[in-house]
Structure formats: C-alpha cells, structure tokens
Structure 1
Amino acid sequence: MTAPEVLFVCVHNAGRSQMAAALLRHYAMGRVRVASAGSEPAEQVNPAAAEAMAELGLDITAEIPTKLSYGAVEDADVVITMGCGDTCPVFPGKRYLDWALEDPAGQGIDAVRPIRDDIDRRVRGLLAELLDG
C-alpha cells in the first residue's frame, strides 16, 4: 500500500501550513507523505511559528515557502486548506478539508502557541483517520 499524501495549503506557506506539515511528518514517521504550499508564498517562515515549533523540538527554520501548483494538488490524496479561500484548484476525487485557523502572521509567540496547539490536535486526528482507514 502506498503511503497517503497530504498537502497543507495556506496563503503565505509561512505559518499554519508549515507547522501542520512539520507536525504530521513528526507523528507519521514516514507513514504519510507530506507537502505544503501557499497561494502567495512569503519569503521565509514566520519567526513566531518557528519559535512555537522549536518549543516542541521541531525545527522549521530551514523550510522555504513554496508556491501552490496544480501538480501538488493533483498528487495529494488529502488537501487541507487553511484560510486560502478558493485559490486552491479543485480536482474530482480528492478529499478536501478546510481548517478554520487564525493566521499567525504578524502575531507574537503568545498568540501563535494556541494556533500551534489547535493544529497539533487536528493533525493527530487526521493521522489516526489516515492510518486506521
């Protein structure tokens, strides 16, 4: 059986989607392929998001925000959008989830921690579904 592929998409691919991808990679331990992208990628990962992830022992500082492509969506089994509206291409047969999450852009670490923790809960739930289903 091929490992399922999950694509996390947000506007800047600098905060929410990067945190979600890092958490899923960490928990899945190679059992799920993970990608992330943004409709309007930033130049670098959000420093507060990186700091919040470092508190969990995960380093996302070397990640590079990536432009969303049709190929990335086409390759994914599950596409999770996080505030990117209708900028994500829709392909029949794909599973789409929209996670309504606050944008960490421009926020300090105290505001980003609860966003990280919400993403963490959602990622754990998604992983359980992917591996049990």
Structure 2
Amino acid sequence: MPRTPEILFVCVHNAGRSQMAAALLQHRAQGNVTVRSAGSDPAETINPAVVAVMSELGIDLSREIPKKLTTDAVEAADVVITMGCGDACPVFPGKRYLDWQLSDPAGQGVAAVREIRDEIDRRVQALLAELVPSS
C-alpha cells in the first residue's frame, strides 16, 4: 500500500493562510493525506476573521494554536507549501517546494479573508487531485 503523502503549509505567523490551507486540505482529503501547518514566527492566536470564514464552511479553527516551524516537520513532509515566509523556511534536498503567493489576511475584514480562503481552497483542490488522483 502506498504511503500517505505528507503536506506542510508554512506562513510567518501560522494564524491565517497556513491554518486555512491545512484545514481545507484535511477536510477535503478525508484521510488520504497527512497535513500539518506551522509558522516561522507563530502568533499567539488564530486570526478571528480566519476562524469566522472557516466556520462558514463548517470547519472549526477556534481551538487551533499557531505552531512553531521545526526542522523535523520539514524533513517529514513530502511537499512543503510556503506562503510568504521568505527565507525563514529551511530547504532540504529531495523535497518538493511550492510557494503560494497569497494576500496576508492579517488586519483584513471578513470579506477579504473570504476571498483568500476561496483562492486557497481552489489551490488545495488542485493539489489534492494531483496527490490523490482518485479523490
């Protein structure tokens, strides 16, 4: 049986983009991938607008806590997707890296964050179709 692909989403604060991407992929993959998220400089809490727009989809991020990016997390991942963390993300040979250029939801209202969420969701669905073609 093939190994489950492991995806790591990374942004600076792990309070917005990477949390939304991880939750959306987890939701859509239905156990067909392992998903983690982390930040190079994690915030104290998840962005409230992010929690609000994800709850619109029935995804509860209210109990999530931003996590610090570790070398182990990067080493364990098959695909590392960065979202505006620049050079703070360690690079290892043999890993697949994608850099998703997305607006930062920090300080933005729900309408703007909803647009970012929807763009992340489109990218997550395309990634999932590529990683798990039968899903």
TM-score range, shorter chain: over 0.9
Tell me the alpha carbon deviations over residues 57-84 of structure 1, each in whole angstroms, 9 at most, x when there is no partner: 1001111100000000000000000000
* SS of residue matched to 2:125: helix
Tell me the alpha carbon deviations over residues 50-106 of structure 1, each in whole angstroms, 9 at most, x when there is no partner: 101001110011111000000000000000000000110000000000000000001
C-alpha distance in 2 between matches for 1:43 and 1:33: 24
The unaligned stretches of length 5 or more in structure 2 are: none
| Matched residue, 1:94 | 95
TM-score, normalising length from structure 1?
Answer: 0.98
| Matched residue, 2:124 | 123
The unaligned stretches of length 5 or more in structure 1 are: none
C-alpha distance in 2 between matches for 1:124 and 1:110: 21
* SS of residue matched to 2:132: helix
Matches for 1:21-40 after TM superposition, within 5 Å: 21-40=22-41
**How far is the alpha carbon of 1:111 from its aligned partner?**
1.0
* SS of residue matched to 1:110: helix
* SS of residue matched to 2:117: helix
- CA RMSD, aligned part only? 0.9
TM-score, normalising length from structure 2?
Answer: 0.97
| Matched residue, 1:49 | 50
C-alpha distance in 2 between matches for 1:49 and 1:24: 15
Runs of 4+ off more than 4 Å:
none
